[in-house]
Copies of this chain bind each other. A is one copy, B any other.
Amino acid sequence: MKIGELVQRSGLSAYTIRYYERIGLLPHADRDRSSRRDYDASILVWIAFLGRLKTTGMPIREMLRYAALREQGAGTETERRQLLETHRERVRVHVAELNACLLILDSKIGGYADAEKRIKDYDTALPRGRREPVGARKARTR
């Protein structure tokens, strides 16, 4: 697989793929005789995993640590597990924070909705003939 195909299948840009290789997040790819990168499909599994780590907010520094342990191979499993466990804990904490923030957002949004409802009630309670207060933003599409 050439880099172009990997771009299609991984969702990363060629720039990013080369950058990741440069910093050691992706293993140095084999080259064909004109020194173009030639990938094995298995790289997609690793890229997908890196994507999870990224999505969950792991900094590249730490992914590099994990990648290095992985390259080292046997004997690094415990450290890799610990690294992931630590990360998992951080993610759990963060998810809890996000859920707390969502509740606050809900109540904030609820407050605006109530305010709008009060305005609307007042509006419909106006005498016939001039229902919309000045500055009312009603898009009325169509």
Contact = CB atoms under 8 A, between A and B. Distances in A.
A109 interface: yes
Interface string A122-142: 000000000000010100000
B135 A77 contact: no
A99 B95 contact: yes
B77 A105 contact: no
A73 B12 CA distance: 43
Contacts of A97: 55
A98 interface: yes
B135 A81 contact: no
B99 A84 contact: no
Nearest to A139: B78
Contacts of A115: 77
Contacts of A94: 98
A49 B99 CA distance: 15
A-B complex: 3 closest residue pairs judged by Cβ atoms: A81-B112, A52-B101, A88-B105
Interface of A: 49, 52, 55-56, 75, 77-81, 84-85, 87-88, 91-92, 94-95, 97-99, 101-102, 104-106, 108-109, 112-113, 115-116, 135, 137
Given A49-B104, A52-B105, A88-B105, 10 more contacts: A52-B104, A55-B97, A55-B98, A78-B116, A78-B137, A84-B108, A87-B105, A88-B102, A91-B98, A95-B98
